[in-house]
Chains A and B, each alone.
Chain A
Amino acid sequence: MINSYILSVTTFVYGLAVVAYVAAWAFENRSAGKAATIITWGAVAANLVGILVRWFESHQMGNGYIPLSNLYESLVFFSFAIGAVYLAIEMRFKTRAFGAGTVLLAFIALAYASLSPEIENKIQPLIPALQSNWLTAHVISCFLGYAAFAIAFAVSVVYLIKHGKEGEDAKPASTFIPPAETLDELIHQTVVFGFFFLSVGIITGAVWANTAWGRYWGWDPKETWSLITWFIYAAMLHVRLMRGWQSKRLAWFAIAGFAAVLFTYFGVNLLPGLHSYQ
């Protein structure tokens, strides 16, 4: 299918972008940085085209649907969301310091989708449970949330490496990586964005569950883990209001939160329940 071909190529474009961002950081080279940004725009555009072509191809086959229904399609959208949200942040905060780490996550997601023999990328029309507009709203908001949390994770890792040790920075001050206050601001803004979309995602999921299964909350592993993720980020947002809060602690929260995101996305498929991808 053309769409999976386009998406396989997109994987390599993301990979190239990662290399360019690493070069930009290691050699503090502006041209490499500019190239990295352009390549990332290319990858995100190709990613989107792949999704649209898949949508079109499903219609050609007779049972058209928006491609968000299985593991392959969700991974493809996840990498698109990471790339798109990253570019927005790169523009707003005017830094390329997180390109390597963040785009690497997009690359891994898409590579896993394209290369894993266990992931079915054939277009299969929707089974009855998935024939609903809520599918689109729920999946898009959840993955926008996940993407933001992925970026917060990447920034937090950099924060801890750079400012993890009390007092003196471990490495000499680098102009490529923004100062601690900016990193902290970045982590906060991305978590806020992610928290909003995760909340919308959980809520649309609940409303959908109510029309499909007759109950808005059933404590199944996926629902419960999404709530666990929500609790962790809610706690993180409240920590900022406590006296004597520290950015370092918040960075660890963002890392723990992303671990919960990964378990919510992948880990729950190892447990029995309604939500497992087929």
Chain B
Amino acid sequence: MSDTQPQKNGFLASAWDLFASIRLTVGILLALAATAIIGTLIPQTQPAAFYAAKYGESGARLIAMLQIDDMYRSHWFQALILMLAVNILVCSVVRLKTVWKIVFSKTPSFSEKSFKQPAGEPFTVKAAPETLQKSYQAFLEKRFPTVVHQPADNGFLLFAEKGRATRLGVYVVHLSVLVLLAGALVGSFMGFDGYVQIPEGQSASTIQLRESGAAMPLGFEIRCDDFAVSFYESGRPKEYRSTLSILEDGQVKTTKDIVVNRPMKYRGVRLFQSSYGTASAKDVSLAFTSKATGMTYRQTMGIGESITLPEGLGTFTLMRFTNSFLFMGKHDVGPSFLGMIEAGEDAHTVVLPLRHAAFDKMRQGDVVVTVENFESVMYTGLQVAKDPGVPLVYAGFILMILGIYITFFTAHRKFAVRVATEKGKTTVTVFGTANKNRHGAKRKAAEIGEKLAKLNV
């Protein structure tokens, strides 16, 4: 037992020392930077076929093995992050004790030795040291939370200090990183991210998860009451707006308009305006021109409706609208209506691409069909997400900004006023120092000196 224990302590002690070192921090930060670059050069979360096509079979296999196709969620990247978290924790624990004692000490100690050169010019006064002490102490006590008097050769020293608590700033920054990581962890376990397309007038209660592609029921219904898109004169989009109603058990719970940058929230789930498109059409105005007589007959109909054409030309059914149609299985003719003409025993598919008005002439049928007008039924593309970790992450953000500000832009400053009498002359010298920006502290000390000199004593 006694043989193995020192070894164990040795290992733990070395591990502790490793994680308490800043050298490790620098190493991990640089490793995170270097490896993160890989994920920007190799496209992430693509299907397996993509990597095979781009990097060859063996390349794709290597990528999958090293989890480079989803590297920010890979085990090794997460391990690096975990190491950083442990490093932060250990470093803070090791160093915080001493700083805590300094910050919260009831009896701070001061020494003339902390100060090097005086700030500004020492000056002489006529008053006696005792009177000086009273007014100088009062002056300093008005400006500093801590003022301490110390007798010295031929006089005394007055110490003043401010900003001791700023030494904790760096621990706030590091705590903020841990809070951020905790928030991210909560979000990844308890959150979800998906999308859904809802045509106007319809509703959906299931979304498709972004990562797995699996369907997920929401527990409530989203109904798209209206969708509107507006454009600038240049043709660029100005606004996409959806009017959404949330229903539970058939009852409308709330209705709200959303636009990009202004999502809505329901039971912790947020709905974002993400995209839009044409789902379908209604009130489609069609023209049927008979080859035999040259007469054109017009009809407005909806999807799924059929009409009997005059002159015995048959029955036309407007089957559906599609955003893209592969003619002959090869050529994408773009957004098109599809129909069916039945005349007796014959049945023919009618393709009506919006881009080519006279397309149906090619069919060389007895009647040529053209689309003259229609009303779009839009769908709204919504991103649906829930992330319970967000409050933690936001707290981390605030802590980080505060922490960085305190760490770098505030300091623990100490000042000393030395009053010494020699051969009947009383000289006052002011000193200033700080744990950061010593020059600034010295300038402040010189200012104090000037103000003390002007005091009516």
Contact = CB atoms under 8 A, between A and B. Distances in A.
B28 to A, nearest CB: 9
A207 B39 contact: no
Given A128-B239, A203-B397, A215-B385, A239 B26 contact: yes
Given A129-B260, A196-B404, A238-B25, A206 B39 contact: no
A199 B37 CA distance: 19
Contacts of A234: 29
A127 B230 CA distance: 11
Contacts of A210: 390
A256 to B, nearest CB: 9
B272 A214 contact: yes
A219 interface: yes
Given A196-B408, A214-B193, A242-B22, A228 B33 contact: yes
A215 B387 contact: yes
B405 A241 contact: no
B44 interface: yes
Interface in B64-115: 72
B277 interface: no
B33 A235 contact: yes
Contacts of A199: 400-401, 404
B448 interface: no
Contacts of B260: 128-129, 131, 212
Given A214-B263, A227-B36, A128 B401 contact: no
User: Interface size bucket, A side?
Assistant: 35 or more
Interface string A219-231: 1010011011001
A8 B218 CA distance: 55
Contact of B193 (A124, A128, A215, A228): A215
A125 B237 CA distance: 9
Interface in B393-449: 393-394, 397, 400-401, 404-405, 408-409
29 contacts: A63-B232, A127-B236, A127-B238, A128-B238, A128-B239, A129-B260, A131-B239, A131-B259, A196-B405, A196-B408, A199-B400, A203-B397, A203-B400, A206-B393, A214-B385, A216-B387, A217-B184, A224-B36, A224-B39, A228-B36, A234-B29, A235-B25, A235-B30, A235-B33, A238-B25, A238-B26, A238-B29, A242-B22, A271-B40
Interface of A: 63, 124-125, 127-129, 131-132, 192, 195-196, 199-200, 203, 206-207, 210-217, 219, 221, 224-225, 227-228, 231-232, 234-235, 238-239, 241-242, 260, 268, 271-272
Given A195-B404, A219-B72, 13 more contacts: A124-B234, A125-B236, A128-B259, A131-B260, A199-B400, A203-B397, A207-B397, A211-B261, A235-B33, A238-B25, A242-B23, A242-B26, A268-B40
